[in-house]
A and B are shown apart, each in its own frame.
Chain A
């Protein structure tokens, strides 16, 4: 015995339903194969429906005058033997989503945006919003992107624009040192001689700002003056990260601003300079001028361009004092309240391009100094410690130095001293 289904057939490609006109058999009646079982009516045609098999009509699901979608079961037939072949499928879903399994596609949104990447792609829309809002590329770069591969999406940028407009300046050192610069007000100018060579609208002629012109002058002068050599060391920042994480809340409560990594690095540098003071020098002719004070410069990308405010007599400050000095400079840089002394007389400079996601940089010495430290982004990496693999927070530190007076040995030792200062777990970062 087998039970087989009688379905409403599809009488035409566009037909979606049918109506039972008449059952020619009652429940309990025997029906032969291909004997007419019922009559149906559709929008297109009326038809007699033959039985698919010989057997007994055991159940009528849809009575006369009932209208049902095509391929709906309308009755059941019981046959004597086993049914050959597979039963007909039941009603199809309305939406034709059957088919091969879909290729796996990432589901939902990413929980954590990947950090900003340097030199990344910006969509035409992102660039046009940036242009309208007066946001230079340098400011775009540090904004974390939530799109594919960390791409900066329209939403990311609009959120940035909104916070930029509404948020009062949060007193954050990181913001100062890394400060995403505001619009560098580059004015379009019309220079007939250049315009002939670079016609609009294909080309735009922009006036360099004063800061930019000075930067250009300084940078060219620096590479012409000093034979640059760079050394790169890997610093395990795990201890620093841990210390900061543990103390950040209390620090902020006490001091009223956020604890950043900058004072840790500044402290390590000052300590290392004390051990290798030649790095804190300048050159005049065949004379070296070694300074017995440390005016520590911190490179800041600002609204008007690159600025290097200076912490004077940094060697006299303890850790908290350094943190306060960094924060003070940050606030005054943003408020454009820096006085000329704030940016003069530096003896050594730190530049933190890590905030832009840069892992490794080759900074240019800020003349007349003879060395500059560049700090890359802190990333968790697997590292081998005592033949075991551990996850550590790693940053690459670059020391660019003037080979006229600093050789590779001194440069390497000085840089390694900074690294060791940062890595010492027992170090006192007194807060």
Chain B
């Protein structure tokens, strides 16, 4: 199979799961004949028909609520939010219904909500937000955030097969920017397991999604320029976090930088830092450092957006400071 872009890997994953399981269907805005705002479902409507690919009314509450109900009734819906930002309009359905049903009723809610997320695309405050931290606080949800085509496909398949609501954060910045080999039809990537993308004995970066790539670039730069070797961990799943890999990575280097493109305050990085403080305190050789976006909406103008979001150079600087500690 030739290498696929990140978005094509997601499409391939959905296609395979729909072929495999007739209870899987898609619902979202403009996903039918139009193929979706990002064309993730291009060709699906023609192949699977209107009962499997549902163009819905413009109402995130109705879409997520209906998907929740369908899941309770035994279907396996995949919801597309046009942008992750818009999930706020369906927030109540996610946290009040989907997340709590199994705890209260012992009825599985097998559904996936796909959320095209993040900045670096000049989308401004309402097309660039990172919303994962709001949901990371909600028991009953799972959250995945793949950084490459293989994981995107493998995690999508795992999410579809999972019996819980899974929020699938897909990074718009990566959609057509990266390509990679993807595994075959039966290969899934387990939810809850991170992966070490680069080994290094001096520092550890814990990150996910778009910033995995910037972190890898930063690690290479630091290796060449300063001889500092950085381990880069791609968390892949944000809920539940891969606690074993996180503590093992703290042990491996003693110095940790957490990077995400979400804003800093209340971000997932804070939870990871707390987890390290609780479970790996004696392995720390430096305070846990975090690098996130400014505590502000994602701005529109390219200069402002670049200043707002983490990037390779900012990660290099943060790592250097950590190395010197």
Residue of A nearest to B172 (CB): A14
For the A-B complex, the count of residue pairs with Cβ-Cβ distances under 8 Å equals 92
CB distance from A398 to the nearest CB of B (A): 34
> B283-309, CB under 8 A of A: which get 1 and which 0?
111100000000000000011011101
Tell me which residues across on chain B come within 8 A of A14, comparing CB atoms.
Answer: 7, 38, 116, 121, 172-173, 175-176
A110 to B312, CA, bound (A): 23
User: Which A residues are in CB contact (< 8 Å) with B122?
Assistant: 13
Closest partner residue, chain B, to A44 (CB atom): B39
What is the minimal beta-carbon distance from A266 to any residue of chain B, in angstroms? Answer: 40
Known A-B contacts A96-B120, A98-B306, A105-B321; A124 and B284 likewise in contact (beta carbons under 8 Å): yes
Complex alpha-carbon distance, A99 and B293, angstroms:
13
User: Are B283 and A110 in touch, CB under 8 angstroms?
Assistant: no
A391 to B94, CA, bound (A): 70
Chain A's nearest CB lies how many Å from the CB of B126? 12
Q: Is the CB of B324 within 8 A of A97?
A: no
With A13-B122, A16-B176, A97-B306 as contacts: A102 and B282 at CB distance below 8 Å = no
Interface centre among A13, A92, A102, A127, by most B CB within 10 Å?
Answer: A13
A213 within 8 A of B: no
Residues of A within 8 A of B313 (CB): 97, 102
Q: Determine if A126 is an interface residue (Cβ-Cβ < 8 Å).
A: yes
A94:B177 contact, CB within 8 angstroms: yes
Given A124-B282, A125-B282: A16 touches B226 (CB 8 Å cut-off): no
Selected contact of A106 from candidates B116, B254, B281, B321, CB within 8 Å: B321
B265 within 8 A of A: no
B320 touches A125 (CB 8 A): no
Least CB separation from A103: chain B residue = B317
The proximity string for A residues 147-161 relative to B, scoring 1 for CB distances below 8 Å and 0 otherwise, is 110010110000000
Q: Does B264 contact A (CB under 8 A)?
A: no
* Residues in A neighbouring B284, C-beta threshold 8 A: 123-125
Decide yes or no whether B127 CB sits under 8 A from chain A.
yes
Given A13-B172, A14-B176, A43-B176, are A99 and B323 neighbors across the interface (CB < 8 Å)? no
Q: Are B217 and A95 in contact (CB under 8 A)?
A: yes
Set of chain B residues within 8 Å of A148, measured between Cβ atoms:
324-325
Q: Are A44 and B38 in contact (CB under 8 A)?
A: yes
Interface residue B169 (Cβ < 8 Å from any Cβ of A) = no
B29 partner residues in chain A, CB cutoff 8 A: none
B176–A15 contact, CB under 8 A?
A: yes
B214 on interface, CB distance cutoff 8 Å:
yes
A224: Cβ under 8 A from any B Cβ = no
Contacts of B116 in A (CB 8 A): 14
Report if B17 contacts A (CB, 8 A): no
A97 to B213, CA, bound (A): 13
* B306 near A106: Cβ-Cβ < 8 Å: no
Judge whether A109 is part of the interface by a CB distance below 8 angstroms.
yes
Q: How far is the CB of B149 from chain A (nearest CB, A)?
A: 14
Contacts of B176 in A (CB 8 A): 14-17, 43
Q: Chain B: which residue is nearest A126 at the CB level?
A: B285
B contact face: mostly helix, strand, loop, or mixed? helix
Residues of B217-256 contacting chain A, CB below 8 A: 217, 225-226, 254
Q: Are A109 and B127 in contact (CB under 8 A)?
A: no
B306→A96 contact, CB < 8 A: yes
B286 is contacted by which of A92, A97, A123 (Cβ under 8 Å)? A123
B127, B226, B283, B303: the one contacting A98 at CB < 8 Å is B303
Contact of B214 among A12, A95, A98, A99 (CB under 8 A): A95
Q: Is A108 part of the contact surface with B, judged by Cβ < 8 Å?
A: yes
Q: Which of A17, A102, A106, A124 contacts B324 (CB 8 A)?
A: A106
What CA separation (Å) do A96 and B310 show in the bound complex? 9
* B283 & A125 in contact (Cβ 8 Å cutoff): yes
Residue of chain A at shortest CB distance from B286: A123
A13, B214: Cα distance in complex, Å: 19
B132 at interface, CB cutoff 8 A = no
- In the bound assembly, the distance between CA atoms of A109 and B323 in angstroms comes to 8
Known A16-B177, A44-B39, A110-B324; judge A99-B311 contact (CB<8 A): yes
Residues of B within 8 A of A105 (CB): 317, 320-321
Instruction: Return chain B residues, CB-CB under 8 Å to A100.
Output: 303, 307
Contact B226 A109 (CB under 8 A): yes
Contact call A125/B306, Cβ cutoff below 8 A: no
Instruction: Let me know if B324 and A123 touch, CB within 8 A.
Output: no
Q: Decide yes or no: A147 and B307 within 8 Å by CB, A105-B320, A123-B286, A124-B283 being known contacts.
A: no
Q: How far is the CA of A124 from the CA of B280 in the complex (A)?
A: 9
In whole Å, how far is A334's beta carbon from the nearest beta carbon of chain B?
Answer: 30
A92–B120 CA distance with the chains assembled, in angstroms? 12
Contact B127 A99 (CB under 8 A): no
Q: Report Cα–Cα, A102/B291, bound state, in Å.
A: 14
Is A188 in contact with chain B by the CB < 8 A criterion? no
Tell me which of B121, B214, B305 has the highest count of chain A C-beta atoms within 10 A of its own C-beta: B121
How near does chain A come to B36, taking the closest CB pair, in angstroms?
9
Question: In the complex, how many angstroms separate the beta carbon of B213 from the nearest chain A beta carbon?
Answer: 8
Q: Distance (Å) between the CB of A13 and the closest chain B CB?
A: 4
In chain A, positions 113-157 with a C-beta closer than 8 Å to chain B are 123-128, 147-148, 151, 153-154
CA distance A127 to B285 in the complex (A): 9
Measured CB to CB, the nearest residue on chain B to A151 is B325
Taken together as a complex, chains A and B put the C-alpha atoms of A105 and B319 apart, in Å, by: 10
- Give 16 A-B pairs besides A97-B312, A99-B303, A125-B282 with Cβ atoms closer than 8 angstroms: A13-B123, A44-B38, A44-B39, A92-B302, A95-B217, A97-B311, A98-B303, A99-B307, A99-B311, A108-B226, A109-B323, A110-B324, A123-B285, A125-B283, A125-B285, A147-B325
List 22 contacting pairs A-B, 8 Å CB cutoff, sorted by A.
A13-B127, A13-B172, A14-B116, A16-B175, A44-B38, A44-B39, A96-B305, A96-B309, A99-B306, A100-B303, A100-B307, A103-B317, A105-B321, A108-B320, A110-B324, A123-B284, A124-B285, A125-B254, A126-B285, A128-B282, A151-B325, A153-B285
Residues of chain A at the chain B interface (Cβ within 8 Å): 12-17, 43-44, 92, 94-100, 102-103, 105-110, 123-128, 147-148, 151, 153-154
